[in-house]
Amino acid sequence: MKQFIAFVKKEFYYISRDRRTMLILVGMPIVQIILFGFAISTEVKNVQTGILTSSVDADTRHIIDRIDASEYFTVKHVVHSADELNRLFRRNEIELGVVFPAQLQRQRFDSENIQIIVDATDPNLAVMRGSYAGGVIAGARAELLQTGMIQPSLVIHNKLLFNPQMRSAYNFVPGVMGLILMLICAMMTSISIVREKETGTMEILLVSPMNPLFVILSKAVPYFMLSILNLTTILLLSVFVLDVPIAGGLVSLLGVSLLFIFVSLSLGLLISSITRTQVAAMLASGMVLMIPSIILSGIIFPIESMPGILQGIACLIPVRWYVDLVRKLMIEGVPFGYVWQETAILLIMAVVLIGITTRSFKNRLE
């Protein structure tokens, strides 16, 4: 045990002397969670809107005012011909157009008499903008129908679970948490064993009577403790800066997060044990892990929409399971009994990765 503690102290000492490592470990997670939390947004806000109408009667003016008063849309142009509206779209001066029929006040605003035109360069964003616009217009239609003789034959109520405000932070924070912890932990530990090879201190490890498993764990302990600090910082920023509440049990969330940190550290140690240089280790941990973690984890693209072979590969990505866990525990607020399968998968990954790393660790110099 004294030897193990000595190895851990040595690793702590090296990390504390390397300012660049400390900057990456402590500074990068703070910058990333703030940057991703505020910069990446799928919310509909301030959509540049154009109105096409031949005459602005009282009903039309009421709807236009409601659209412009909404935080989602800004009415920039009111035109009177289709050619003018099309020209605004081509010049990228507007992103959404609303076409009103002539003499809307006489028709009392039937739903089929208004057309919403959306720039579909980004299809997903176009659907959201059209849906938001339809909601605003439906609300204005209800106000008008209450003042007239015609009553709506059907009223549809929409209810959004877990994120009624449709805030993008609720979607991105779990993914960003997994991405940051995976990259930071894997990148930092991936150079730990390789560094010993390059600096010539590998002989000390090789002649040590300690079991290879304890040598590997001694490399992981300092980064594990620093990762706990990163996890605490990320959760505090998510709750108090990004206003993303922790709906479920905090203890369960911390428990699965610590397990995921250990999986990430184990993956970094595996990379470190099979590479020969720090540059190769950094490239392997940064490039090889980053792209699959982003594409195949469900952060941006739904896994259910992927081909079967990619869904199978996604099951091997630890971030995929951690993102599911955080969304269920933090956003949905489900009890731990609903996430035991994902937790068991991460636990199996941790055992397998540590086992492979231990076997690949050489007891002699090559």
Q: Which of residues 278 and 251 earns the better pLDDT score?
A: 251
* pLDDT at residue 311, rounded to an integer: 85
* pLDDT at residue 111, rounded to an integer: 45
Q: What is the mean pLDDT of residues 315-326?
A: 90
* pLDDT at residue 256, rounded to an integer: 94
346: its two tokens: 């991460």
Q: Which of 193-207, 237-251, 292-306 has the lowest mean pLDDT?
A: 193-207
Domains of the chain: 2-40+167-360 (no CATH), 47-147 (3.40.190.10)
* pLDDT at residue 112, rounded to an integer: 45
* pLDDT at residue 310, rounded to an integer: 83
Q: Is 234's pLDDT higher than 80?
A: yes
Q: What is the mean pLDDT of residues 180-190?
A: 80
* pLDDT at residue 322, rounded to an integer: 92
d(CA 44, CA 74): 11
What DSSP element (H or E) covers 189? helix 169-190
The segment with the largest mean pLDDT, out of 71-75, 87-91, 215-219, is: 71-75
d(CA 266, CA 190): 9
Name, in order, each residue with C-beta under 8 angstroms of 103's C-beta and a sequence gap of 6 or more: 55, 57
Q: Which of residues 104 and 210 earns the better pLDDT score?
A: 210
pLDDT band at 110 (very low <50, low <70, confident <90, very high): very low
Mean pLDDT, the chain, integer: 77
Strand partners for 122: none
Q: What is the mean pLDDT of residues 102-128?
A: 64
Q: Is 208's pLDDT higher than 70?
A: no
* pLDDT at residue 23, rounded to an integer: 65
Q: Which of 66-80, 183-197, 228-242, 305-319 has the lowest mean pLDDT?
A: 183-197
Q: Is 148's pLDDT higher than 80?
A: no
Q: What is the mean pLDDT of residues 111-131?
A: 72
What's the pTM value of the predicted model, to 2 decimals?
0.68
Q: What is the mean pLDDT of residues 232-246?
A: 86
Q: Which long-range contacts (CB under 8 A, 24 or more apart) does 5-9 make?
A: 7/208, 7/210, 7/214, 7/215, 7/218, 7/219, 8/218, 8/221, 8/222
322: left (phi over 0), alpha (psi -120 to 50) or beta: alpha
Q: What is the mean pLDDT of residues 57-67?
A: 84
pLDDT band at 352 (very low <50, low <70, confident <90, very high): very high
Q: What is the mean pLDDT of residues 87-98?
A: 82
Q: What is the mean pLDDT of residues 330-334?
A: 84
Report residue 240 CA to chain centroid gap: 18
pLDDT digits over 10-61, tens only?
Answer: 666 666 666 666 666 666 667 666 655 565 555 677 888 999 888 777 778 8
Q: Which of residues 252 and 245 earns the better pLDDT score?
A: 252
Q: Is 344's pLDDT higher than 90?
A: yes
Nearest residue to 345 via CA among 324, 313, 321, 325 = 321
237 neighbors 37 (Cβ within 8 angstroms): yes
pLDDT band at 120 (very low <50, low <70, confident <90, very high): low
* pLDDT at residue 149, rounded to an integer: 40
pLDDT band at 162 (very low <50, low <70, confident <90, very high): low
